[in-house]
């Protein structure tokens, strides 16, 4: 008998200590299995890496390039515009624009206030704008910022905020050439004037290059150049900046003196048809466009010299006289009996300020006789008169190519009534632009040759078209010289030391109820010098309200100043005889060499 614990009986089902339970893998087996799996995975990874790096290199390179290699555009410089002597009128200067990747910027919203401060924007508005464009990866925040702003933005080094190099147009002469040159938009595309007319020529061709960008979109390396940018062409305009400044100054002073609403001056080179000056008032400074304080109105943008039309009034009378001489019915010595100083056409009485009696054609121009001009015009065949005016460019484009140019209005002769033919004689019932008026006078100064107007400098004179006999043109110019004489209406157009010829005009403005009695357009057109005409100048002052309104009082002095300055600038020698006080003209004998 044993008094201790009974010994636990080992059953057959209990495994021995340290042994494996029947049906379960041992620890060593499990460890080996796991190790085998890792070995197989490693081998698979190695095989995959070998496959990608050795056998699929091109695919990987293409994928990397698709994610980091980009083609960047290289901005091309827009061509410059210069005057005929090479003085700059329009040039493009490099500037920076700020753009962002909205999703990246919004990842760090705490930095938006600093960005807003650098751009002088409201932080809340900037945040709202970024949020509205969160689906985009390119958004301009500011275009053409000044260098100080660009430096502040660059110093912030905010992920997703980048600077882009662009170009901005600058006009050194400001409002002096504003109407002629026009302007470009923020993308450097021409919108008005010569900038629009020659936009394709001035535009450069952008270049391209491959760049490597990091995950924040920043360029980290230039890979290769694809195409170099090609700058636009340089446009050499016909303008002489010196004469342009002169005409601008004189026109602006005249408008202020006579309290006029607007005005234009055009100076043409008679020998080539080139426009040497073209100015308008009111004017605008194209450099000020887009500024918050800019007050440029749509009305101020018009180049009135080519877009606005006017009834030329008595400045048309020399063209009527030229048609009369061309008809063969009149000679320079022909005399017209205008007694009693009034003529009835239909139901309308046409009268002069005084009864001038019997006059020759030169006196009709000097006295600006409406009756005399009407009597001359009524004796011409209406189709012949219409053709004579049309050949001078009235009712047709001048050939300048300026955007928005008006052709004027010359009603067809088949629609003329007797009163139409009568009023055309003294510049009513038809209309023309200031440029057309100067161009028609250039025909007279150019011995009857018509040349298209040009706003670009010509290397040689264009092919001219004869529209008038040279003796006719010279005879009319001689007659117009008397308009500047002591008995003419254009005495204030005289230029010391030079013989000049021209014609005054004072046209009533057409309103809703007919022609107004108290609103006028003062006009003067003329040539200088008479001996060998070089300049054809047209001056238009619209609606002067300073007490005087006649063309001889308002527009003629502007012609005198512009002509005198232009003659000096071009170094054209005086052609008037030297007249000492109280003595007869002196004849200057030629001095033998």
Active site residues: 314
Residue pair 345/418 in contact by the 8 Å Cβ criterion? yes
**Rounded to the nearest 5°, which phi and psi values hold at 438?**
-65, -40
CA distances from 204 to 137, 207, 392, 456 (A): 27, 9, 38, 19
Element holding 88 (H helix, E strand): strand 88-100
CA end-to-end span of the chain, whole Å? 172
The C-alpha atoms of residue 551 and residue 74 are separated, in whole angstroms, by 55
Question: Token match 């048809």: residue?
Answer: 273
Give the distance, in angstroms, between the CA of residue 429 and the centroid of all CA atoms in the same chain.
31
The C-alpha atoms of residue 399 and residue 407 are separated, in whole angstroms, by 10
Cα-Cα-Cα-Cα dihedral of 172, 175, 177, 183, to 10°?
80
Beta strands 348-351 and 465-466 are unpaired
The C-alpha atoms of residue 123 and residue 126 are separated, in whole angstroms, by 5
Element holding 320 (H helix, E strand): helix 317-327
Contacts of 152 (CB under 8 A, 6+ apart): 118
Give the distance, in angstroms, between the CA of residue 285 and the centroid of all CA atoms in the same chain.
12
CA distances from 73 to 111, 207, 314 (A): 29, 6, 58
């Amino acid at each position: 008998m044993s008094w201790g614990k009974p010994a636990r009986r080992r059953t057959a089902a209990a495994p021995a200590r340290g042994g494996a339970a029947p049906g379960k893998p041992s620890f060593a087996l499990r460890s080996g299995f796991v190790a085998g799996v890792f070995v197989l995975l490693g081998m698979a990874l190695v095989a995959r890496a070998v496959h990608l790096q050795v056998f699929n290199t091109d695919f990987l390179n293409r994928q990397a390039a698709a994610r980091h290699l980009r083609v960047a555009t290289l901005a091309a410089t827009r061509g410059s515009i210069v005057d005929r002597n090479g003085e700059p009128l329009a040039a493009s200067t490099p500037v920076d624009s700020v753009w962002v990747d909205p999703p990246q910027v919004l990842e760090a919203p705490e930095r938006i206030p600093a960005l807003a401060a650098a751009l002088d924007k409201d932080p809340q508005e900037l945040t709202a704008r970024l949020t509205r464009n969160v689906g985009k990866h390119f958004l301009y925040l500011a275009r053409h910022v000044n260098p100080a702003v660009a430096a502040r933005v660059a110093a912030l080094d905010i992920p997703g905020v980048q600077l882009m190099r662009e170009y901005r147009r600058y006009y050194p002469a400001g409002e002096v050439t504003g109407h002629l040159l026009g302007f470009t938009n923020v993308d450097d595309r021409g919108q008005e004037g010569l900038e629009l007319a020659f936009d394709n020529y001035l535009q450069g061709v952008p270049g391209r290059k491959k760049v490597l960008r990091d995950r924040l979109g920043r360029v980290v390396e230039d890979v290769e150049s694809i195409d170099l940018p090609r700058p636009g062409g340089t446009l050499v305009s016909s303008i002489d900046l010196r004469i342009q400044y002169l005409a601008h100054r004189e026109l602006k002073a005249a408008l202020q003196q006579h309290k006029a609403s607007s005005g234009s001056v055009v100076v043409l080179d008679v020998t080539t048809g080139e426009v040497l000056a073209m100015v308008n008032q009111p004017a605008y400074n194209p450099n000020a466009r887009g500024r918050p304080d800019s007050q440029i109105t749509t009305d101020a943008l018009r180049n009135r010299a080519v877009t606005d039309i006017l009834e030329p009034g008595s400045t048309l009378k020399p063209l009527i006289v030229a048609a009369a001489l061309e008809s063969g019915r009149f000679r320079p010595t022909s005399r017209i009996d205008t007694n009693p100083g009034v003529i009835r056409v239909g139901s309308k009485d046409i009268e002069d300020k005084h009864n001038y009696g019997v006059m020759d054609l030169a006196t009709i121009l000097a006295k600006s006789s409406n009756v005399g001009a009407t009597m001359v015009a009524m004796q011409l065949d209406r189709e012949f008169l219409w053709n004579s005016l049309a050949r001078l460019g009235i009712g047709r484009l001048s050939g300048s190519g300026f955007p928005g140019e008006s052709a004027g209005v010359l009603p067809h002769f088949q629609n003329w009534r007797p009163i139409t033919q009568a009023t055309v004689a003294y510049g009513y019932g038809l209309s023309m632009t200031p440029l057309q008026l100067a161009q028609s006078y250039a025909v007279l100064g150019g011995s009857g040759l018509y040349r298209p107007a040009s706003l670009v400098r010509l290397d040689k004179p264009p092919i001219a078209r004869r529209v008038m006999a040279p003796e006719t043109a010279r005879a009319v110019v001689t007659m117009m010289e008397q308009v500047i004489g002591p008995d003419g209406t254009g005495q204030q157009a005289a230029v010391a030391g030079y013989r000049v010829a021209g014609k005054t005009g004072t046209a009533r403005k057409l309103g809703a109820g007919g022609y107004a009695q108290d609103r006028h357009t003062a006009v003067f057109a003329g040539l200088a010098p008479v001996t060998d005409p070089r300049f054809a100048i047209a001056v238009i002052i619209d609606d002067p309200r300073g007490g005087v309104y006649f063309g001889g009082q308002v527009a003629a002095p502007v012609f005198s100043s512009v002509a005198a300055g232009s003659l000096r600038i071009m170094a054209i020698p005086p052609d008037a005889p030297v007249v000492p006080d109280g003595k007869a003209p002196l004849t200057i004998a030629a001095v033998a060499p």
